[in-house]
């Protein structure tokens, strides 16, 4: 049994694609007792009903996927983990960085892994989840307890039919995604536009180069290989062009009145800069502007 904590778009994607009868959502305190029911539209356009039960008291999953927003992760796990066996691996799917460290520090003896995914899913209407973009998921350990479980967890996730790979350096993958999110998401939220449209906006063109210079200086401070600012910009803009019509999760959160994950993206980079005495005015400015949108 695979348990999923977080019934948003990504959680519903995994619930619908993993083998039927082998997955359940983890209820939050006070959650409705009935199953989670929705239409799931696969990548080829076919749709089917998904009916996912809640994990019942006494059920012991052998894997838990955490697909909550980064800011909700710690409290959600504090509520859920007392009833989950201590040897059960936890796989974190959060954007950005910061929440993963909170989890490993809070539960150092539990096996904690992280996933970095480029799968796209959204909920364009109530009761409908769409697999909007085929991608790849990498899974790796965040602490020593998770190391022996990486191959097994990757195989379990691959039973979904999605592309899953074990990754020995998952932190590097998370940093790669953080850099891309830092260069796209805040701009799309502030400018209220799809990913590709930022590339011609004066606000973006004014700040993207100094942003990449900040990130270039932060990478070695975080133990990551240094990259030239122009290489970072090239990577960011290649993704923005490839996903030109997409609405970022941060823009979607702002439009829906939800709390964004800015504190774990540009906000995380700003805090890192302050810790190491590295100027981070652009990351700080972007984080503050997005916070003011809520």
Same domain, 226 and 139: no
Residues 114 and 199 placed together within one structural domain of the fold = no
Q: Say yes or no: 131 and 69 in one domain.
A: yes
Q: Which two tokens stand for residue 240?
A: 């923005």
Whether 11 and 143 map to the same domain: the answer is: yes
State the CATH number of the domain containing residue 217. 1.10.1040.10
Regarding whether 287 and 194 lie in a shared domain, the answer is yes
* Whether 241 and 141 share a structural domain: no
Q: In terms of domains, do 135 and 264 share one?
A: no
Same domain as 261, residue 191: yes
Strands of the sheet containing 47-52, edge to edge, are: 47-52, 36-41, 128-133, 120-125
**Pair of tokens at residue 38:** 């929705």
pTM over 0.75: yes
Based on the fold, state whether residues 17 and 148 are members of the same structural domain: yes
**What's the rounded Cα separation, in Å, for the pair 100 and 118?**
18
Catalytic residues: 177
In order of 87, 90, 116, the CA distances from 108 in angstroms are 12, 12, 21
Residue 10: which CATH number? 3.40.50.720
Looking at 168, 202, 223, the residue that finishes a domain is 168
Torsions phi, psi for 252 (to 5 deg)? -60, -40
- 268 and 219 housed in the same domain: yes
Structural domain count of the chain: 2
In order along its 294 residues, the chain shows pLDDT tens digits of 999 999 999 999 999 999 989 999 999 877 767 899 999 999 998 999 999 999 998 889 999 999 999 999 999 999 999 989 999 999 999 999 999 999 999 999 999 999 999 898 888 888 999 998 889 999 999 999 999 999 999 999 999 999 999 999 999 999 999 999 999 999 999 999 999 999 999 999 999 999 999 999 999 999 999 999 999 999 999 999 998 988 899 999 999 899 999 999 999 999 999 999 999 999 999 999 999 997
The domain boundary, picked from 115, 140, 168, lies at 168
Residue that terminates a domain, selected from 146, 168, 190: 168
Q: Within this chain, do residues 162 and 251 fall inside the same structural domain, yes or no?
A: no
Looking at residue 32, its pLDDT comes to 66
Residue span of the structural domain in which 285 resides: 172-291
């Amino acid at each position: 049994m695979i348990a999923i904590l977080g019934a948003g778009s990504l959680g519903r994607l995994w619930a619908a694609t993993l083998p039927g009868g082998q997955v359940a959502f983890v209820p939050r305190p006070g959650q409705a007792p009935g199953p989670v029911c929705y239409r799931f539209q696969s990548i080829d356009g076919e749709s089917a009903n998904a009916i996912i039960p809640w994990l019942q008291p006494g059920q012991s999953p052998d894997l838990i996927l955490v697909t909550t927003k980064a800011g909700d992760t710690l409290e959600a796990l504090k509520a859920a983990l007392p009833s989950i066996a201590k040897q059960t691996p936890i796989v974190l799917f959060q954007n950005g960085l910061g929440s993963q460290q909170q989890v490993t520090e809070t539960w150092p003896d539990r096996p904690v892994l992280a996933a970095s995914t480029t799968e796209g899913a959204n909920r364009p209407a109530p009761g409908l989840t769409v697999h909007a973009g085929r991608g790849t998921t990498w899974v790796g350990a965040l602490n020593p307890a998770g190391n022996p479980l990486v191959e097994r967890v990757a195989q379990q996730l691959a039973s979904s039919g999605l592309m899953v790979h074990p990754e020995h350096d998952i932190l590097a993958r998370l940093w790669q995604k953080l850099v891309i999110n830092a260069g796209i998401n805040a701009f799309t939220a502030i400018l209220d536009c799809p990913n590709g449209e930022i590339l011609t906006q004066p606000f973006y063109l004014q700040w993207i180069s100094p942003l990449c210079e900040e990130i270039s200086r932060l990478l070695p401070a975080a133990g990551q290989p240094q990259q030239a600012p122009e290489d970072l910009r090239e990577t960011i803009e290649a993704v923005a062009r490839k996903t030109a019509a997409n609405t970022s999760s941060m823009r979607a959160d702002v439009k829906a009145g939800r709390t964004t994950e800015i504190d774990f993206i540009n906000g995380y980079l700003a805090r890192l800069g302050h810790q190491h005495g590295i100027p981070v005015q652009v990351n700080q400015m972007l984080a503050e502007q997005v916070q003011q949108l809520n």
